Amino acid sequence: LWTCHFSMTPPRSICANASLLVLATLCASSTASNFPQRLLPSLTRLLPSVEEAEVPIFATPQAPLNDDVVGASSALESMLDEVTSFNVTSDLIIRYDKNPSIWRQYKGTILQGTLKISVLLTVINMLVCIKLNTMVNHNPATMEQLDKLFTSLDNLWTTQMTLAAFTLSFFLTEAFSIWKEILSVGRQIQDRLSALIRVSASHAARDKKTGGITSGAQVTLSTISRYNRLFGVLFYSSVSRKHAILACDDALAGLMKRGVITEDERAILSALPPNRRHHSVAQWLTLAFLRGEELGHFRQEGNLHDFVVAEVAQLLVS
């Protein structure tokens, strides 16, 4: 039963901690005087060293500030081409793959991370059992002492197994909740940016003879569209590890070369913290609409003004 428990243990750290507790119990027990000392190094090697300590997966990524951090300029140019392209090269949010073969995957699963240590611990447990069986030689008194010792170990392992099951189930539930929340917020931001573009285009002033958008309204719509795209680029550069390369000053220079921002806008954004630049773009977006409204580039129908201001405010809240 003890061997089966070890073989089913999910995380390596829990396995190592369990080995530490087992080792401590054996050494501290008064009935462990006959425990083979040759097995102690094998159990000790299972314990994680300081060098093997993993980086917390929930560590917040820091935005790069210079080329020494972001790497080669080719990576920056490639990312700039991707975010400024009008062609969709990949999904913004990857869809769930309903292919049943996902259940036969090995890479990236708990099995991949625990198979080696579980097999190792199972083999060690088997060797311990064989060695103890040889040492005891069916002596009733010794068998009784070992039975008492392993009863304590069984209670210890039951507690450890309960803790492992609780930890896995709790953090799995929390991870799924965070994933759903991030997906919901991402969709809200995407919907609000799209709504601003659709409403602005549908309410743009049109020529009565041709029915086309007037030249002045076209300029205003182009400015709103540019700020809309810039907001998305700067927002995701402040929250996404993949797009963090766009938070450096060289990225602003690349955006200026591609016509996404002007030289004056680049100077303003360079003076701001990378995680606050999209706030200024949201203000520019509102001012561009208000300016176009003053110049008569939008039809005054309904509560257009209140709708745009409310959408931009909700955009920042999201």
Give the integer Cα–Cα distance in Å for 196 and 312.
8
Burial 5-32 (b: 16+ CB within 10 A, else e): bbbebbebbbbbbbbeebbeebeeeeee
| Model confidence, pTM | 0.58
Q: What is the pLDDT of residue 92?
A: 61
Note the pLDDT tens digit of each residue in 227-255.
Answer: 999 999 999 898 888 888 888 889 999 99
Residue 13 clears pLDDT 70, i.e. is over it: no
7/24 Cα distance (integer angstroms): 21
Closest CA to 23 of 1, 43, 7: 43
* Cβ proximity of 22 and 159 under 8 Å: no
Q: Cα(145)–Cα(288) distance, rounded to whole angstroms?
A: 84
Contact 203, 298 (CB under 8 A): yes
Cβ–Cβ < 8 Å for 227, 285:
yes
Q: Rounded distance, CA 7 to CA 125, Å? A: 10
* Contact present, 136 and 35 (Cβ < 8 Å): no
Contact assessment for residue 291 and residue 283, using Cβ atoms and an 8 Å cutoff: no
Which amino acid, residue 155? N
Q: How many percent of the chain have pLDDT more than 90?
A: 26
Over pLDDT 70: what percentage of the chain? 72
Q: pLDDT for 252-269, tens place per residue?
A: 999 999 889 999 999 999
Query: What tokens does 243 get?
Result: 């797009």
Cβ distance 252 to 266 under 8 Å? yes
Q: Per-residue pLDDT for 270 more than 80?
A: yes
User: Which pLDDT tens digit goes with each residue over 285-310?
Assistant: 999 998 998 899 998 776 788 888 88
User: 304-317 vs 277-294: helix axis angle to the nearest 10?
Assistant: 180
How many helices, marked H, and strands, marked E, lie in the chain? 12, 0
Q: By C-alpha distance, which of 206, 195, 192 is closest to 298?
A: 206
Higher pLDDT, 129 or 279: 279
C-alpha angle 85/89/91, rounded to 5°? 120
Highest mean pLDDT among 50-54, 138-142, 210-214: 210-214
As assigned by CATH, the class of the 187-317 domain is mainly alpha
CB neighbourhood size of 253 (10 A): 16
Q: Is the pLDDT at 178 greater than 80, yes or no?
A: yes
**Separation CA 247–CA 69 (nearest Å):** 11
DSSP symbol at 276: G
Q: Which of 232, 268, 200, 193 is nearest to 85 (CA)?
A: 232
DSSP 203: T
How high is the mean pLDDT of the chain? Answer: 75
What DSSP designation does 59 have?
P
What's the rounded mean pLDDT across residues 24-37?
40
Beta bridge partners of 213: 206
Residue boundaries of the structural domains of the chain: 187-317
Residue 183 belongs to what H/E stretch? Answer: helix 140-202
